[in-house]
Amino acid sequence: MQKVIGVRFRKAGRIYYYRCGQVELQKGDSVVIDTQRGLECVEVVISPREIASDKIKFDFIRRKANSFDMARIAENHAKEKDAFEICKQKIIEHDLPMNLIGVEYAFDLSKIVFSFTANGRVDFRDLVRDLAAVFRTRIELHQVGVRDEAKLIG
């Protein structure tokens, strides 16, 4: 028997399952987990439940989020707003045909992901260099389609 929870990284995103062990959690709590992208702080959307199958291997959560983690999330959201404005200005400076729709800081501040839409392919190498010089961290730009844009905006 395994005790698992369901978490979601984004509002309209897919649900992922993690083992919670003996940690007492409920729907709406925040937990810190390890992902391929590093540490992430996510919300529990499915309360803990027992799964009978031991054939399926779920990763463990790292811990329940504490006040320091929640403060870091608030700081990251504030930084995301500033990063959005800076990137928008850099796009105008480089005269690129793209529309910035979102910015997301990694929980551990190891990288920033900028999401944008464009009608075709965009050469944004100079933009990435400028953004890396400003933020001094790893920069990723993701071009998303109109359906993904609708999901991100809501």
Is the same domain home to 121 and 99? yes
| Domain span including residue 29 | 2-65
Angstrom distance (rounded) from CA 17 to CA 2: 11
DSSP conformation class of 53: -
With H, G, I as helix, E, B as strand and everything else as coil, classify residue 96: coil
Report yes or no on 141 lying in a domain.
yes
For the cut 80, the answer to whether the pLDDT of residue 94 exceeds it is yes
Is the same domain home to 44 and 97? no
- Average pLDDT of the segment spanning 17-28: 88
The mean pLDDT of the chain is 88
DSSP conformation class of 77: H
Is the same domain home to 95 and 52? no
For the cut 80, the answer to whether the pLDDT of residue 149 exceeds it is no
Angstrom distance (rounded) from CA 72 to CA 67: 9
Report yes or no on 70 lying in a domain.
no
- Strands 111-117 vs 138-143: parallel, antiparallel or unpaired: parallel
Contact 152, 115 (CB under 8 A): yes
pLDDT of residue 1: 75
pLDDT of residue 151: 67
For the cut 80, the answer to whether the pLDDT of residue 55 exceeds it is no
| Number of structural domains in the chain | 2
